[in-house]
Amino acid sequence: MTAQIFSMADRPDRDNDGGTGVRLETRSKTQRPPLYKVLILNDDYTPMEFVVHVLERFFGLSHAQAFDIMLTVHKKGLAVVGVYSYEIAETKVALVMDFAQRHQHPLQCTMEKE
C-alpha cells in the first residue's frame, strides 16, 4: 500500500478548507497462474517408437530425452513430460490424443494441477 500526501485544494470533490490529507492506494499483487503437469500413460499396445516420436514432435525433446521418458512410462506406468500453464497443457494433451487416435494407437495423455 502506498500513501500519497496531497493538499485539500488539489481535490475538486472537497470544499477548500486548506487542510491536508492522506490518500491510500491499494495495489493487488498479481499471482502467477497455476501450472499443470502433462503426463503420458503406459498401455500394452502403443509401440515404443510411436511414443518417442510423440515426445519429440509435441514436446520438443531430443531423441535421447524422449527415449528416456518412454522407458520411464514403460517401467513406471506414467511419466511427466512437461509443466505448462493451463491453456498450453490442454492444447498439448489435445494434440497428442488426436495424433494417437489418427494413427490408431490407444496412447493416453492427461494433465493434472501441479
Q: Tell me what percent of the chain is helix, strand and coil, each rounded to the nearest 5.
A: 40, 30, 30
CATH number at 63 reads 3.30.1390.10
Strands 35-41 and 108-113: antiparallel
- Number of domains within the chain: 1
Evaluate whether residue 40 is within a structural domain: no
Examine residue 81 and state whether it is found in any structural domain, yes or no: yes
Cα–Cα distances (Å) from 60 to 24, 47, 107, in that order, read 48, 19, 18
Do the domain assignments include residue 55?
yes
From residue 97, how far is each of 90, 103, 109, 110 by CA, in Å? 11, 10, 6, 9
Q: Could you read off the pLDDT of 28-79 as tens digits, one per residue?
A: 888 889 999 999 999 999 999 999 999 999 999 999 999 999 999 999 999 9
- 83 falls within a domain: yes
Which residues constitute the domain of residue 104?
A: 46-113
Total-model pTM: 0.74
- Amino acid sitting at position 12: P
